């Protein structure tokens, strides 16, 4: 039916426009400079390490596991919307024309990641005496294409047949098969390739046949699509305001030891609420976690102390400024509005809350640096840079005017 083909084309065009609208705020000149430094430093460290690869390094296993995981995660991009669960019902017998285009787009949009990982892994394989012939590289590339194409369809049919239940089991099975296939290809055991490939094909056919006997699970695929777009909007919200972003909160009972119980007359209400806001608001909490982990990874991978100092300093500034803006966001309703304090102390509580979070980040940087550099001057310099830049950012950011 021609209308379904046209509908997919219109939705894909709208989706690409939506991505471009926010991408121009994400990939700015500043981020390009940061990525350039990060990729250059990581590439240099990788090339230096390859000059003296440890004997017996399991390069084949590592490559198979990493690329196998990239191949396994093949969630379909359907661009379905809530009204489709009603309006697509008369067209369900012809829905393949829409879904075939959706799976084709999914394949091409997810293909670059495993190919990039394979290109990065080629020098490591060559350094350990594997994959030195062009025929070997061509065979591996073809297998990556075939497995990715098959897995996109397999995950779609599995979700279709089971209404989204048991996806973790499906991914574990497909990961084991993909990692095993890549391992035998890298090691040159070509006789096992048809056997594993046949198992993959049978696994795909089983769920394709099952999906033909059940109605299309609109609710699951619409929910999957909404969650995927919401993840993109949350990421874009770190760089610009996303008006239709829906936030989420989590209990995180494992962090209860950080949250002291309220004591009447002693607990400061603003600080009590802000600390819980920081730890239980998903966007804010995971923002702090990601930037802290980036600092740790930078210390481990970057070989130049001066570059590490600049890197962790920039991340500490980014963490502090974004936490400040996140916590001072003017919500329609806050719990402190029920029983407002006489003195406007919210901005002081924001600064103290962010300062506490940055002291934890400083401790993480210090401990990581001790493991990498030992008991020397470098760990102390890095920790001083993090806390000084954080405190300067907290103190220089004007918050009081918003609560006067």
The pLDDT assigned to 254 comes to 74
**Identity of the highest mean pLDDT range in 57-71, 293-307, 320-334:** 57-71
Instruction: Decide which of 280 and 226 is more confident.
Output: 226
The pLDDT assigned to 403 comes to 45
The CA–CA distances, whole Å, from 134 to 68, 113, 203, 317, 343 equal 21, 21, 31, 47, 73
**Identity of the highest mean pLDDT range in 147-151, 187-191, 305-309:** 147-151
Half-sphere exposure of 343 (CA within 13 A, CB side): 7
pLDDT band, very low/low/confident/very high, at 266 (cuts 50, 70, 90): low
The CA–CA distances, whole Å, from 390 to 175, 277, 357 equal 42, 20, 10
Instruction: Decide which of 105 and 342 is more confident.
Output: 105
Q: Which of 37-41, 171-175, 221-225, 242-246 has the lowest mean pLDDT?
A: 242-246
Half-sphere exposure of 369 (CA within 13 A, CB side): 24
Instruction: Decide which of 352 and 266 is more confident.
Output: 352
How many angstroms from the chain centroid is the CA of residue 397?
A: 29
The answer on pLDDT for 331 being more than 50 is yes
pLDDT band, very low/low/confident/very high, at 1 (cuts 50, 70, 90): very low
If one counts every other C-beta atom within 10 angstroms of the C-beta of residue 283, the result is 16
The pLDDT assigned to 80 comes to 92
Q: Which of 124-133, 144-153, 226-235 has the lowest mean pLDDT?
A: 124-133
The pLDDT assigned to 168 comes to 92
Instruction: Decide which of 42 and 199 is more confident.
Output: 199
Cβ(220)–Cβ(85) under 8 Å?
no
| pTM, to two decimals | 0.72
Evaluated on CA atoms 345, 257, 339, 286, the torsion sign reads positive
The answer on pLDDT for 10 being more than 50 is yes
Q: Which of 66-75, 120-129, 155-164 has the lowest mean pLDDT?
A: 120-129
Calpha distance 349→275 (Å, rounded)? 9
- Domains in the chain: boundaries: 57-227, 253-330+341-402
pLDDT band, very low/low/confident/very high, at 67 (cuts 50, 70, 90): very high
Beta bridge partners of 18: none
Instruction: Decide which of 284 and 257 is more confident.
Output: 284
Encode burial over 321-332: b for 16+ CB neighbours within 10 A, e otherwise: bbbbebbbeeee
Residue range 31-60: mean pLDDT, rounded: 80
pLDDT band, very low/low/confident/very high, at 66 (cuts 50, 70, 90): very high
How many angstroms from the chain centroid is the CA of residue 46?
A: 22
The pLDDT assigned to 404 comes to 43
The answer on pLDDT for 47 being more than 90 is no
Average pLDDT in the chain: 84
Calpha distance 193→150 (Å, rounded)? 15
The answer on pLDDT for 88 being more than 90 is no
Q: What percent of the chain has pLDDT over 90?
A: 34
**Identity of the highest mean pLDDT range in 139-153, 334-348, 374-388:** 139-153
The pLDDT assigned to 227 comes to 87
The answer on pLDDT for 161 being more than 80 is yes
Q: What percent of the chain has pLDDT over 70?
A: 88
Residue range 79-85: mean pLDDT, rounded: 90
User: Who's near 315: CB < 8 A, 6+ residues apart?
Assistant: 291, 294, 295, 298
The answer on pLDDT for 205 being more than 50 is yes
Q: Which of 98-107, 226-235, 382-391, 393-402 has the lowest mean pLDDT?
A: 393-402
């Amino acid at each position: 039916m021609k209308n379904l083909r046209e509908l997919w084309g219109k939705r894909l065009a709208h989706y690409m426009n939506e991505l471009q609208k926010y991408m121009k705020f994400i990939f700015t000149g500043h981020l390009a400079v940061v990525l350039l430094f990060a990729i250059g430093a990581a590439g240099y460290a990788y090339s230096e390490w390859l000059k003296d690869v440890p004997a017996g390094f399991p390069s084949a296993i590592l490559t198979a596991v990493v690329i196998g995981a990239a191949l396994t995660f093949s969630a379909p991009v359907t661009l379905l919307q809530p009204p489709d669960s009603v309006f697509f019902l008369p067209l369900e017998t012809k829905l393949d024309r829409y879904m075939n285009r959706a799976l084709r787009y999914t394949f091409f949009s997810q293909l670059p990641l495993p190919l990039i990982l394979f290109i990065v892994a080629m020098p490591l394989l060559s350094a350990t005496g594997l994959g030195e012939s062009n025929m070997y590289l061509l065979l591996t590339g073809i297998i990556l294409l075939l497995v990715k194409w098959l897995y996109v369809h397999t995950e779609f049919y599995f979700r279709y047949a089971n209404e989204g239940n048991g996806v973790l089991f499906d991914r574990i099975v497909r990961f084991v098969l993909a990692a095993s296939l890549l391992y035998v290809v890298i090691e040159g055991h070509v006789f096992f390739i048809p056997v594993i490939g046949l198992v993959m094909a049978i696994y795909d056919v089983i769920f394709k046949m099952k999906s033909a006997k059940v109605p299309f699970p609109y609710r699951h695929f619409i929910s999957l699509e909404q969650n995927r777009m919401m993840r993109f909007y949350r990421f874009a919200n770190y760089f610009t305001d996303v008006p239709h972003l829906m936030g989420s909160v989590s209990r995180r009972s494992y962090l209860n030891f950080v949250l002291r119980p309220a004591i009447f007359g002693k607990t400061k209400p603003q600080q009590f609420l802000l600390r819980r806001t920081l730890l239980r608001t998903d966007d804010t909490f995971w923002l702090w976690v990601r930037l802290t982990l980036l600092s740790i990874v930078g210390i481990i991978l970057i070989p130049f102390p001066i570059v590490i100092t600049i890197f962790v300093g920039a991340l500490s500034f980014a963490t502090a400024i974004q936490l400040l803006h996140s916590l001072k966001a003017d919500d329609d309703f806050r719990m402190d509005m029920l029983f407002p304090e006489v003195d406007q102390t919210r901005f002081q509580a924001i600064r103290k809350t962010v300062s506490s979070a940055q002291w934890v980040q400083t401790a993480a940087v210090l401990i990581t640096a001790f493991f990498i550099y030992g008991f020397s001057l470098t760990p102390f310099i890095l920790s001083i840079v993090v806390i000084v830049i954080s405190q300067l950012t907290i103190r220089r950011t004007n918050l009081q005017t918003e609560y006067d």
